[in-house]
A and B are shown apart, each in its own frame.
Chain A
Amino acid sequence: MTGLAQTLAFGVLVGGVYALAASAMNLIFGVMRIVNLAQGAMLMLGAYLAYSLWRATGLDPLLLTLVTAPALLAVGWVTYYLFVERARTTDPPTALVTTFGLALITTGVIALIWGNEWRLAGPGYAGRSFTVAGLHLPQAQVYACLVAAVVLGGLWLVLNRTWLGRSVRAVAAGPEGARLVGIDVRRVWAASYALGVAAAGAGGALLSVLYPFTPSSGYHWIGLMLSIVVLGGMGSMAGSVLGAVLVAVGEALTSAYLSPGWATAVPYLVIVIVLLARPQGLLGARLREDMSRA
């Protein structure tokens, strides 16, 4: 029984970080209808920034989300106007290829700056655990999960309690309607993309403490984030959180009770099953594409 509780605890803690990464991708998809394949590379950029700052200053890598998120916000803003905007006005496949190209460029730049060696930030608590009722709760995972919850809460507040958030939701519901009520849709798209990348920057700082990473580690995260977004429902932030916890718990249970060899296949199985059984995801709305885009 302790074994099951321990496994579930691992899953839930990791699920918090998954939720942040997937919500960032889902925000961009929900507003712009773009699957941003550069999100994994942006996660890694956040991780390398946090790692370097931790090395240079000794500051806690988790607190450095306060630096990596704004830094990646700027990166998102610039890359949106340089690359993504032009692609999104053509057709979805072009946007997909553009963001993949952006992922390749970002990965290459990271490798040029930081090299290809794997890195891992190691603050004092990285190898310690809290012991609660016989369960080992890794401190790094607990703190990372809390920071992810705070960032997600902040994102929720921005989307639900600010004018920018209302504009974002209005554009997500229908850009033509939003334009009719005076919203600068172009700026909202840019802001949504930049916010999504900034959230990836925060997620990267969390990952820098949790797992060893290399410049190309981002590609692994793309599949994972996509599966969570598909499971939770494309465009649904709450769905992303729920999907993240379910995928993370699924991975942990598979690793513990089936085989660690199958754990990384869980996200891909999730994609196939959800697309067959409930294409709109757990909390996604089933919309007529012609009406939703009108």
Chain B
Amino acid sequence: MRTFLGSLTAVLLLVTACGNGSGTAGDTGPIKIGASLPLSGPVADASEPAYAGYKVWLDRLNRGGGLLGRPVELKVLDDGFDQNAVISNYNRLIGQEKVDLLLGTFSSKLNLPASTVAERHKMLYVEPSGGATEIFERGYEYLFFAQPSTSVDLPEQFVAWVKSLPPEKRPATAAYPTQDDPNTDVAIEAFAKELGALGVRPVYSQEYAPETTNFDTIAAAIAAARPDLIVHGAVSADGAGLIKALQKQGFSPKILFQTNSPSVVSSFPEAVGPANTEGILTSVAWSPATPYPGNAEFVADYTKAYGRPPTDDAANAYTAGQVLEAAVKAVGSLDQRKLADWLHANTVQTIVGPLKWDERGVPDGDMLLAQWQRGELEIVAPESARTGGPVITPKPAWAS
């Protein structure tokens, strides 16, 4: 009997040691981190820098000795911006690849199902993107967002700026075209509500499908309504698509705010024409100029590795890595429950500033308001993070 109990104990110990998410510092093999990214498909342009951001974080981590004294490996699968593929990828990472830790994918559309897979397996899920409100309203305990705030808070800095304008300079009317996307839907709804409270009257409000490439009829309807302000819920190339269509209509609003697209600095200026970027506003989570610890090192490492400065998406991925790293180092093990509990109770210093989360995994920080000024995407609010001049208003007419 004693032999049987001894064997049982040995088996249980072995199972515990090999079990998912319960490794200890005593293990010597590499720690495996798994993630899925839309490296192909319509948002591949944004996820490539994100992948690079993950890799820059991983290189720095391994240069510093890895995690728990072990080297760290990153396994990334391509989901092609497909919800079924992202579910399959995270199931594979957890079930077949037996990864020790997870990092999130990109966009609200993908993080919505991916976070469910992680939660079902009780694995920590730090997402670099995906700020839609519905992601955080499901009572998940292992989910954390690695940007300063979610989509519902996106208007904060912009609305504060509008509020600061003298009444005669405030926009009287606004158009709200938006892609049908869980992130932009929420953000545009919040914009309309908060600007409405300031007396800005909506004159156009329509959703379009993600596959939309032809914006001529949308631009014609907006031009006919002649709004002072356009707040565009753009996700990727649709930002440039609407701008080109507005140019063809000969209509330039006094103020143009777009989500996401203007921060893709590698393709946005060329697609709309460099001179046409002047005055376009957007929200970003990060700035290369902010003096948060590790930010300058991140910019230098990234630029050295890829020959160009990092983007907002790259920084968000790097931040997600920092959050994961901080939790593992503080807890001293890969116990997923303890990692989640620690993140719920502590603040993490990151390159986007200190992040602290509520019980939903929602951080309590602020996004930055950015504007294209003289060919550069500059931070214009809050004042403490400003890198550019005062907000350019009204936006200059289209150059061509």
Chain A contacts for B220, CB-based, 8 A = 3, 6-7, 10, 136, 256
Interface residues on B, range: 35 or more
What is the CA–CA distance of A124 and B400 in the complex, to the nearest angstrom?
7
Which of the residues B48, B206, B214, B276 comes within 8 Å of A211, measured between beta carbons? B214
Q: Is A93 an interface residue (CB 8 A)?
A: no
Chain A contacts for B264, CB-based, 8 A = 117-118
B213 engages A212 (CB within 8 Å): yes
Which of the residues B207, B208, B216, B236 comes within 8 Å of A118, measured between beta carbons? B236
A216 engages B41 (CB within 8 Å): yes
Chain B contacts for A136, CB-based, 8 A = 220, 248-250
Chain A residue nearest to B218 (CB atoms) is: A260
Report the tally of A-B residue pairs with Cβ distances under 8 A.
138
Contact A214-B273, Cβ < 8 Å, known A124-B400, A252-B217, A256-B220: no
Which of the residues A117, A122, A255, A262 comes within 8 Å of B45, measured between beta carbons? A117
B45 engages A118 (CB within 8 Å): yes
A116 engages B40 (CB within 8 Å): yes
A152-187 to B contact mask, C-beta < 8 Å, 1/0: 000000000000000000000000000000000000
Chain B contacts for A251, CB-based, 8 A = 214
Q: Is B241 an interface residue (CB 8 A)?
A: yes
Q: Is A189 an interface residue (CB 8 A)?
A: no
A127 engages B398 (CB within 8 Å): yes
CB distance from A114 to the nearest CB of B (A): 11
B208 engages A107 (CB within 8 Å): no
CB distance from B208 to the nearest CB of A (A): 4
B115-158 to A contact mask, C-beta < 8 Å, 1/0: 00000000000000000000000000000000000000000000
Contact A211-B44, Cβ < 8 Å, known A6-B220, A138-B216, A263-B212: no
Which of the residues B48, B180, B244, B267 comes within 8 Å of A126, measured between beta carbons? B244
A214 engages B207 (CB within 8 Å): no
Which of the residues B45, B211, B216, B400 comes within 8 Å of A214, measured between beta carbons? B45
What is the CA–CA distance of A213 and B213 in the complex, to the nearest angstrom?
9
Chain B contacts for A117, CB-based, 8 A = 45, 48, 264, 266-267
B271 engages A107 (CB within 8 Å): no
Q: Is the interface of A mostly helix, strand, loop or mixed?
A: helix
B237 engages A128 (CB within 8 Å): no
A118-156 to B contact mask, C-beta < 8 Å, 1/0: 111010101111000000101111000000000000000
What is the CA–CA distance of A6 and B180 in the complex, to the nearest angstrom?
25
What is the CA–CA distance of A252 and B219 in the complex, to the nearest angstrom?
12
Chain B residue nearest to A260 (CB atoms) is: B208
Chain A residue nearest to B247 (CB atoms) is: A127
Chain A contacts for B241, CB-based, 8 A = 211-212
Q: Is the interface of B mostly helix, strand, loop or mixed?
A: mixed
Q: Is A52 an interface residue (CB 8 A)?
A: no
CB distance from A270 to the nearest CB of B (A): 15
A261 engages B213 (CB within 8 Å): no
B48 engages A261 (CB within 8 Å): no
CB distance from B175 to the nearest CB of A (A): 12
Q: Is B240 an interface residue (CB 8 A)?
A: yes
A260 engages B212 (CB within 8 Å): yes
What is the CA–CA distance of A141 and B224 in the complex, to the nearest angstrom?
20
Q: Is B67 an interface residue (CB 8 A)?
A: no
CB distance from B235 to the nearest CB of A (A): 11
CB distance from A21 to the nearest CB of B (A): 13
Chain B residue nearest to A2 (CB atoms) is: B224
Chain A residue nearest to B177 (CB atoms) is: A260
B40 engages A10 (CB within 8 Å): no
Which of the residues B40, B218, B271 comes within 8 Å of A119, measured between beta carbons? B271
Contact A260-B206, Cβ < 8 Å, known A117-B267, A129-B248: yes
Q: Is B42 an interface residue (CB 8 A)?
A: yes
What is the CA–CA distance of A100 and B100 in the complex, to the nearest angstrom?
36
Q: Is A217 an interface residue (CB 8 A)?
A: yes
What is the CA–CA distance of A19 and B398 in the complex, to the nearest angstrom?
31
Q: Is A264 an interface residue (CB 8 A)?
A: yes
B240 engages A118 (CB within 8 Å): yes
CB distance from B396 to the nearest CB of A (A): 14
Q: Which residues of A contact B (CB under 8 A)?
A: 3, 6-7, 10, 14, 107-108, 111, 115-120, 122, 124, 126-129, 136, 138-141, 210-217, 220, 251-252, 255-256, 259-265
Given A122-B270, A252-B216, 4 additional A-B pairs, CB 8 A: A126-B244, A212-B238, A212-B271, A260-B207
The 9 closest A-B pairs by CB, nearest first: A127-B247, A116-B44, A212-B237, A260-B208, A118-B237, A255-B217, A138-B248, A211-B213, A117-B267
Pairs across A and B, CB under 8 Å, 21 listed: A116-B40, A117-B267, A118-B236, A120-B237, A120-B271, A126-B247, A127-B244, A127-B247, A127-B276, A128-B400, A136-B220, A211-B237, A211-B241, A213-B213, A214-B45, A215-B40, A216-B80, A255-B208, A260-B207, A261-B206, A261-B208
Q: Which residues of B contact A (CB under 8 A)?
A: 39-42, 44-45, 47-48, 80, 177, 180, 206-209, 211-214, 216-218, 220-221, 224, 236-238, 240-241, 244, 247-250, 264, 266-267, 270-271, 273, 276, 398, 400
